Structure 1
Amino acid sequence: MADILTPKVLVVGGGPGGYVAAIRAGQLGLDTVLVDAERLGGTCLIRGCIPSKALIHVASLHAEMAEAARTPRFGIGLSAAPTLDFGATIAWKDGVVDRLSGGVAGLLRKAKVRVVAGHAVFSDAKTCSVATANGPVAIAAEHVILATGSLPVELPFLPFGGKIVSSTQALALSAVPEALVVVGAGYIGLELGIAYRKLGAQVTIVEMADRILPLYDAKLTDPVRRWLKAHDVAVHLGARAVGEEGEGLAIETADGARCVLPADRILVTVGRTPNVAGWGLEAMNLAMDGRFVRVDDRCATSTTNVWAIGDLVGEPMLAHKASAQGECVAEIIAGKTRRFAPLAIPAVCFTEPEIVSVGLSPHDVPAGTATIVGQFPFLANGRALSMDAGDDGGFVRVTARASDHRILGIQAVGAHISEFAGEFGTLIEMGAVLEDVAGIIHAHPTLCEAIHESALAALGHAIHV
């Protein structure tokens, strides 16, 4: 007879939303079971955020050494170009993933969460059967947290397989492509495209919109656009992929012409879709919001004691949003009064250079709201210049309401500014005004002095520009 588990909380999905929800529930003393058919960590840890950043790190090191071999700088030169054992690169990347996935397993054990490895299929809203290596396991829970994540969008005329790869497959190639065509100029496509260009691939970008990173304003994306141009990355804007043809990808360009782009790999990064198929969603009687599961500000679905978090419930599809929602739901189940209502969720592009955005840009502010904007260039920041990061067009920009100087949004583009996301988010969540930032002493010499200077600029008295 199959085992029957009756936990207080059942979490389906072991990604950054699911495992955080399970750990927090366990910490709160709730009997918790987590079900996942794959390795713990989900898309972000196993085949997304973490492995891509590892690859980006290696690519940047390789590019710096290759440049030193071509043109010595700072008194550093190499007598030969660097060699690349890409198999060793992938092995190192996998080692990072293994270490973190194992860490998640340890944290779940510490929180006394039982992990059931297998695929769950629901027969009703609170009951599922899990196909495990040792046979089926039945689970009937009081509360269910759905954290099944998302999947790469597959184009019908460019199905994954052969030379056509998703972002997941692009992180596990056996060799650097000679010619890589990236379909989609969002953050995933550009992060991976730039990384492979640094590793020596000839990269071409195809994007239907009229600019790269269309969710960000042109001032933020211009430094990335200039990097692409300076490094011979061809970008076809307003262009449409047609399908695989001959030795490459056929596209229709903005002027209506048709051409074939040579490619031994075609990376399709046109978005992600919530993972709603194959686990019995139809048996759970959940209201939908388009392709997403509908939830309220507590992440509660239309079915009592069924909760949903992360990519399953809508944009932004970001790991840190899922984690925050998971923690929130676990505390609600434990009896705490919580709701998921962040003022802003940080968004980061690990492009060259990096982009970070929290809150509203000047173009997003509702009509009728008067604002003041302060911008400070890294060209005037000592730390940026001392690490050769002042000439890429980077800056920090703050937007505040004119009436009371309340900060509405902060953005930055430049080297290493992904680490600014925490301070940006803190300022907005704490309701900071420009004078608050102006009064904070930022250590010298650091890049984050530009945050201080941007607030001073908005107040009309920046010091270093």
Structure 2
Amino acid sequence: MTEILTPKVLVVGGGPGGYVAAIRCGQLGLDTVLVEGDRLGGTCLIRGCIPSKALIHAASLYAEMTEAANRPRFGIGLTTPPMLDFGATMAWKDGIVDRLNGGVGGLLRKAKVKTISGWARFSDAKTCSVETADGKVTVRPEHVILATGSKPVELPFLAFGGKVISSTEALSLLEVPKNLVIVGAGYIGLELGIAYRKLGAEVTVVEARSSILPQYDAQLVEPVRRWLKAHRVEVLLNAKALGEEKDGIAIEQTDSGRSILPADRIIVTIGRKAAIDGWGLEAMNLKTSGPFVEVDERCHTSTKNVWAIGDLVGEPMLAHKASAQGEMVAEIIAGKKRRWQPVAIPAVCFTEPEIVSVGIGPADAGPDTISAQFPFAANGRALTMAGSENGGFVRVIAHKDSHRILGIQAVGIHAAELVHHFVTLIEMGAVLEDVSGIIHAHPTLGEATHEASLAALGHALHF
């Protein structure tokens, strides 16, 4: 017999947008059901942000120990190279994922959210059927929050399967490839490529455009480019992947023609697309905008009481954007007045070194702005962590007359940990004088933000 549920809210998708929306709905006393076809946590927790950062951390430790065996630093050396048990590394990574997955389930139970495991299929905007291990469940809610996320883009001439894999499979390999080719030099591809290079793989990056990390300006990217060159990661720009070959991948470069690159694994990381197929979008009478579901400033779709959040509604495809939208929609359903109006959404790239950007960059800065930067080479904390050697810096962009801060970027060691400082300053409407008047703890990397602001005002103290 089919079980029929009639909750106030149905959330489809248990990723960072969906589960946050469901938890907030529960906290607000709304009867809520969440349907997830895979594991709670979504792409970010299960097969994206969290496992990739675990792999990056382990790879960095291994690389540091390998270097200590070859060339002692800081008076520290190893008499033999470190041993890598990659299976154990992956097991540790999986343990972190499992722990967080269980944590999400616990938070949903605490908020009194009913979770259904199975694939949601809509026959109309307010009727959803789920085939579960215990039978069919039909859900007829008053409100629907769609948080189905995104999936990797597949190239027709490099279909996923065998040695051609997406970022998902790249985080579950059983051994480190001897020869690894990354197709796409965006942040996902370079994060994975750098991690596997540190683990010992020979890595080649194939990029059809003329630069790596095209979403960032050349000055931010330069320290990453230098790291890739110093660690013998071959970067082929203006190069097009043609297809898989028996022993590798065929490519064509503008200046040198066709060639074959050896590859045990080929990771295709050319982007992600909204997951709009297979759950009944066509039956819900929703307007779309290109490949995304169209929403207004409240994340409301064209159909009454149907909401959409996260990757499903467009760029930026970031977990923290999805979570913020999920929280907002839950509060709107509960009767609060909210709308989507962030001043800035931070972006972080966990390459070597890390890159962060909030607000406008140099390309958007006009004649009515001023800009200044402060190098980590002049920052005491960066020096104590050997993080001053890669050309890292903090840059501040502000309005010339009002001195209101419009953008902040950084590249360097642990730069990601500065991003909340950056976004807070922009969201709060801070001016350069605000930052110059704040006493920053010494010695910290955050002092570079203070000094960059002082430099924009014309009187940096330590540079």
TM-score category, normalised to shorter length: over 0.9
SS in 1 for 2:441: coil
Compute the RMSD of aligned alpha carbons: 0.6
Q: Could you say which residue in structure 1 is the equivalent of 2:138?
A: 138
Contact 2:217 2:362 in 1 (8 A): no
Q: Could you say which residue in structure 1 is the equivalent of 2:208?
A: 208
SS in 2 for 1:261: strand
Deviation at 1:246, TM superposition (A): 2.6
Deviations 1:225-245 (A, max 9, x none): 000000000000011000011
1:450 aligns with 2:448: yes
SS in 2 for 1:348: strand
Q: Could you say which residue in structure 1 is the equivalent of 2:350?
A: 350
CA distance in structure 2 between the partners assigned to 1:348 and 1:411 by the alignment = 10
SS in 1 for 2:364: coil
- Counterpart pick for 2:434 among 408, 433, 436: 436
Q: Could you say which residue in structure 2 is the equivalent of 1:404?
A: 402
Number of corresponding residues: 463
Deviations 1:121-162 (A, max 9, x none): 001001110011111100000000000000000000000010
1:310 aligns with 2:306: no
1:80-95 matches, within 5 Å, as: 80-95=80-95
Q: Which amino acid counterpart does residue 242 of structure 1 have in structure 2?
A: L
CA distance in structure 1 between the partners assigned to 2:157 and 2:135 by the alignment = 38
Q: Could you say which residue in structure 2 is the equivalent of 1:427?
A: 425
Q: Could you say which residue in structure 2 is the equivalent of 1:413?
A: 411
SS in 2 for 1:46: helix
CA distance in structure 2 between the partners assigned to 1:304 and 1:114 by the alignment = 23
SS in 1 for 2:363: coil
1:113 aligns with 2:113: yes
1:197 aligns with 2:197: yes
1:300 aligns with 2:324: no
CA distance in structure 2 between the partners assigned to 1:144 and 1:451 by the alignment = 43
Q: Could you say which residue in structure 1 is the equivalent of 2:387?
A: 389
TM-score for the superposition, normalised by structure 2: 0.99
Q: Could you say which residue in structure 2 is the equivalent of 1:4?
A: 4
CA distance in structure 2 between the partners assigned to 1:362 and 1:438 by the alignment = 22
Q: Which amino acid counterpart does residue 135 of structure 2 have in structure 1?
A: G
Indicate the larger mover: 248-257 or 54-63.
248-257
Q: Could you say which residue in structure 2 is the equivalent of 1:159?
A: 159
CA distance in structure 2 between the partners assigned to 1:178 and 1:79 by the alignment = 25
CA distance in structure 1 between the partners assigned to 2:163 and 2:289 by the alignment = 35
CA distance in structure 2 between the partners assigned to 1:315 and 1:82 by the alignment = 41
CA distance in structure 2 between the partners assigned to 1:251 and 1:362 by the alignment = 33
Deviations 1:295-321 (A, max 9, x none): 011000000100000000000000000
Deviation at 1:254, TM superposition (A): 2.4
CA distance in structure 2 between the partners assigned to 1:254 and 1:460 by the alignment = 45
CA distance in structure 1 between the partners assigned to 2:427 and 2:300 by the alignment = 23
Task: Name the % identity.
Answer: 73
SS in 2 for 1:363: helix
Deviation at 1:256, TM superposition (A): 5.0
Deviations 1:300-350 (A, max 9, x none): 000010000000000000000000000000000000000011011000000
Structure 1 unaligned regions, length at least 5: none
Contact 2:36 2:117 in 1 (8 A): yes
TM-score for the superposition, normalised by structure 1: 0.99
CA distance in structure 2 between the partners assigned to 1:331 and 1:440 by the alignment = 34
Q: Which amino acid counterpart does residue 112 of structure 2 have in structure 1?
A: K
1:379 aligns with 2:377: yes
CA distance in structure 1 between the partners assigned to 2:125 and 2:440 by the alignment = 51
CA distance in structure 2 between the partners assigned to 1:344 and 1:436 by the alignment = 18
Q: Could you say which residue in structure 2 is the equivalent of 1:38?
A: 38
Deviation at 1:362, TM superposition (A): 1.9
1:21 aligns with 2:21: yes
Deviations 1:393-435 (A, max 9, x none): 0000000010100111000000101011111110000001000
1:462 aligns with 2:457: no
1:360-371 matches, within 5 Å, as: 360-365=360-365, 367=366, 369-371=367-369
CA distance in structure 2 between the partners assigned to 1:147 and 1:349 by the alignment = 24
CA distance in structure 2 between the partners assigned to 1:411 and 1:264 by the alignment = 36
